[in-house]
Every structure is written in C-alpha cells, then in structure tokens.
C-alpha cells in the first residue's frame, strides 16, 4: 500500500500494482472509496497487458474465492460508481471477454462479472 499513498491514481503504474500480491489483497487494506479511486489505473494499466487482465477483472468483482457479494465493503464500493464509470467497467469486461481465448479463465470470469454485477 505504501507505493500508492499520497499519489494520484494516474501516477500508479502496473509495476506499482505488481508490488501488491493481488487486487483482492489490496481490498483488505483500503476502504471502498480508496480502492475505487485507484481502480482506473488498474483497468488502464492491465488493458495493454493480457497477463494481468485477470487483475482488472478482480477489481470489478467481490474479493472472495466464490466472487459473491457479502458484507458492506462490496455494497459501499459498488454504490460509488457513477453511470459513466459503470459504462467503463462494462466496456472493460466486454473487451477482455472478447480479447481472451475461448474457454480461458479471463473470458469466463469477465462474462460472469458482466452478467452478475455489471448488467
């Protein structure tokens, strides 16, 4: 988390995200508002790096193994998205699903996220 502190979201690079073990682990350290603030950097940085697109998807899903919305964190996080931000999240998921190999984990999880949380 130290590599994000005091920085604008636009200054956070993929290398900074790589210093975290995963976006899900970062959700444990940040409030929903803080994670929401840094999410654009994750989506932008991973869009050009297929090996890390799963991290972008994770940023748009509840942070547990079953990807089920539980507790207040997800509800607070999801409520922070404006309509244009929701559209950007949907676009990212659709783009990853179309770009990923058929049957890949990225495609399946992006499609699940889109159908379940970003309709």
Please state the domain extents for the chain: 9-116
Reduced 3-state DSSP string for the chain: CCCCCCCCHHHCCHHHHHCCCCHHHHHCCCCHHHHHHHHHHHHHHHHCCHHHHHHHHHHCCCCCCCCCCCHHHHHHHHHCCCHHHHHHHHHHHHHHHHHCCCCCHHHHHHHHHHHHCCC
- Hey, what are 56's tokens? 């972008």
For residues 43-61, give the mean pLDDT: 94
For residues 52-56, give the mean pLDDT: 95
pTM: 0.92
Instruction: Kindly report, residue by residue over 17-37, the tens digit of the pLDDT.
Output: 998 888 999 998 899 999 999
Averaged pLDDT score across all residues of the chain? 93
Residues 46 and 52 sit within 8 Å (Cβ to Cβ): yes
């Amino acid at each position: 988390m130290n590599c994000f502190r005091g920085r604008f979201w636009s200054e956070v690079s993929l290398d900074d995200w790589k210093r975290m073990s995963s976006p899900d682990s970062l959700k444990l350290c940040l409030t929903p508002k803080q994670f929401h603030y840094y999410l654009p950097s994750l989506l932008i940085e991973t869009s050009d790096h297929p090996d890390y697109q799963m991290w972008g998807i994770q940023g748009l899903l509840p942070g547990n193994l079953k990807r089920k919305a539980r507790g207040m964190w997800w509800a607070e996080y999801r409520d922070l998205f404006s309509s244009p931000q929701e559209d950007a999240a949907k676009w990212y998921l659709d783009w990853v699903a179309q770009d990923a190999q058929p049957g890949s984990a990225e495609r399946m999880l992006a499609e699940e996220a889109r159908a379940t949380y970003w309709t």
